[in-house]
Each structure stands twice: as structure tokens, then as C-alpha cells.
Structure 1
Amino acid sequence: MPEVIFPGPEGRLEGRYHPNGAPDAPIAIVLHPDPQFGGTMNNRVVYNLHYAFHRMGFTVLRFNFRGVGRSQGEYDQGVGELSDAASALDYLQTLNPNSKHCWVAGFSFGAWIGMQLLMRRPEITGFISVAPPANRYDFSFLAPCPSSGLIINGTADRVAPPKDTANLVAKLREQRGIVITHEQVEGADHFFKDEEEHMKPMIETVQTYVRRRLGEASR
């Protein structure tokens, strides 16, 4: 998978780009957790989401937010990181102008950024939010949420407690015109540390959901 460097708002951004052979393949970007707590594009959840999308025929880009790895700039409390995500999507769309479907996936802090990106970019047709930290960040900007998507979390998550995730889902489900699917992985912590018991079921749930959505769109 080629390493890529592309322009961001505060200088270059470092990414990993995994193209699919089809010129009209769907595209997806994957957003990593909080850089303040060691989050990078090589986080296990992000890495697994990246390859899950590629196995489903997507062209995929994951990247480091500003100040992480070889990406230039400094941490900006989510404001600049949202601009980074928009630049990454611009870059991906420029390389894939014929793509008919555009998805964003994010883990933890990356889920918060990804759902903000939804509000900016009407071309996003679906989202995956893994363990969104609804206890730490304000998600009230999702009014209305412009796209249907999947929210998935572990029942033993102490970083982003399940009750806060459930409250977020309940608020989003009050809105008309979208469908918010909520799944939980029994016993999983915030990081889905157990590969077989937690990570694998989480990824399988994501793939089942995305494949169903793509199938519905092709009818």
C-alpha cells in the first residue's frame, strides 16, 4: 500500500492510500483517535477498518492528523483536525472522480471528527462511528444528521460509556429521513483489545452493514 503525502491546511499530511482497480469504486476515509492520547493512523481499530473497507471493494485512505507522524502542524482540539479530514476527502475525490459512493469511518475522537465532516459534505452517503465519545464531546451539531450510518461500541467501554452512546443514538433516531443502526459488542472495551472476541465481531458487523447499504443502493 503506497505511502502518500498530500497538502493539508497547515502543511503536508501523511497517509496510506489503498486503491481499488475499478474506476468507479466507492471511496472511504478512516479517521484515527485522539492524538493527545497516542492516536495515529496505525491504531489497530483504524487499521482493521481500513482493510475491511478495501476487502469490500473500496478505495481507502487513512491519514495522520496534523502534528502526528510526518504530518505537519500542531494539535488543534478538533477544529484543525476537521479541516484536515476535509482536505483528505478532497484528495481522495480528486484521485477518484468517478466514484458513486463516499463513506467516512472514525474511531473515538475520529468518530467525532467524521460526524462533523458529514455536516460539511453532502456527498457522504454513509458513516461508521466506532465508540464515539459522546461523554467528552458535544454531538449536538448533528441537527439534522444528513446521512444514515452505523454506531458501534463495546458494552464494557469505560472511556466512552455505553449509556452516553445510547443517549446519542436515541437523539439521532428522533430525526426523520435517516436510519441510525446501533450495534454493541458484548464485553468489548474502548479499544476492542481481544482480537477474536471483540475486534473480529466488530469488523464483521461493520462489513455486514456496509454490504447491505451498498446492495440497497444498487437496486
Structure 2
Amino acid sequence: MQRLPADVRRGQLIEAALAVTAQQGVAALTIRNVAEAAGVSLGVVHYHFEHKEELLTEMGQCLILEISEAMRLAFSQLVGPLELRGIAGLRELLGAGIRGLWPIIEASPDHQLLTYEITAQALRQRGAGNDSAGAIAAHQYRTMDTQAVAFLDLCAQRAGVTWSTPVDQIARFALAALDGLVLRWLVDRDSDATLTALDDLVQIIATKARQDCSPDHHLETASDPSSPDGNR
């Protein structure tokens, strides 16, 4: 068996676990079938993941970060050549990020279903008294909250606007809407309807911002070379 750096091996095991659960569901996941799928011994899996719940947590985080990366890539491709300011610019930026995640969602329905399965399994076990398993769902949503807040803050910063509602509340609302839209798409696979709904979501989120007219803001961004506007 080839020796790999720890982070590479963990990544390999997570991918193997995702492959197993995509075919058989979360309930079928065991350390043994992960080892078989990865072509390693049981001891290797146990060395990197003490128990199944730790592996499930890492799987959930991997799926979330995969979506977030697609959103950031679409956002960065739009921001580069254009100057997008004000509420209209905010809508463009939000739309780029939120629509940018759609191709990867559409291409990976099994992975999207897994995110719901992991959550449901964790909550079911929490209801049965397994608090450590129940913590998986909380960790999933903390990760999503962190990613969503960072994205919303970046959009507002680039557009020169301020959120009029606490950004963590906006993130919570947006994620709840996305959860529902993706789950509905998994049922009916109506991508056109989902994209229309995503555009509606962008419009709603943009109403929660106001134009930042502070002269100090413009002075700071003009003088700070590390800011998005500093090199204009």
C-alpha cells in the first residue's frame, strides 16, 4: 500500500466514503466498506477517523465547500472585468455567485441528496439520544453559515453597500431558501423553474441592503491597496 501524506490520505478516504454513500445511502456507510472502496486496511481508516461520525462530519463539510468554491469562482469571474457598484451592482454580484453554484448542483444530484441524508441521519440519531452524532448536523449548518456570511459580506464590500439587516440573519434566510429549492429540484428536476426561483431569491436578498454613502468608506477603499477598490 502506497504511503501518502495525511491530508491526501484523508481526502482519498472521504472521496471513497462519498462514492459508497452515493450508491448505497448514508445508512449503509461503514468503516469496512470505506476501507474496501479506498483499497486500504481498516487500520488506515481508523487512524484518520476515530469513528463513523467524524467521517460523516468531514463528508458533509466537503460537500458544502465544493458548492462554495463554485460560487466563489463564478463571483470572481464576474468581478474581474467589471465595476459593479450600488444596489444594482449588488444584484449582479449576488446573481453571479448564486447562479454560479447551479452547474455543480445540477451535475451532482447524488452528492446533493447526500447532504440531506447526512443531516437527517444525524438528527434521527440525536432524537435517539446520540448527541455526538447529532452534532454533525449542527456542524454542517455552521459551515454553511460561515461560507454564506463571507460571501454576502464580500458582495456588499465590492458593491459599496451596507446590509440593513444583520448579515447572519440574511445568510440564514438565504440558506433556508436554497435548501428548499435544491430539494424541490431533486424531486422534479425542473432546472428552468429553479433558476427563476434563484433569480427571485437574489432580488429579495438585495432588498436587505442600502447604498453606503459614507465619504470615509470611499477614502478608505481608495487608500487601502489591499481593498477590492484600492488600485483603481
Greater RCO (CA < 8 Å, at least 6 residues apart): 2
TM-score under structure 2 length normalisation? 0.29
TM-score under structure 1 length normalisation? 0.30
More helix by share: 2
> Greater CA radius of gyration, 1 or 2?
2
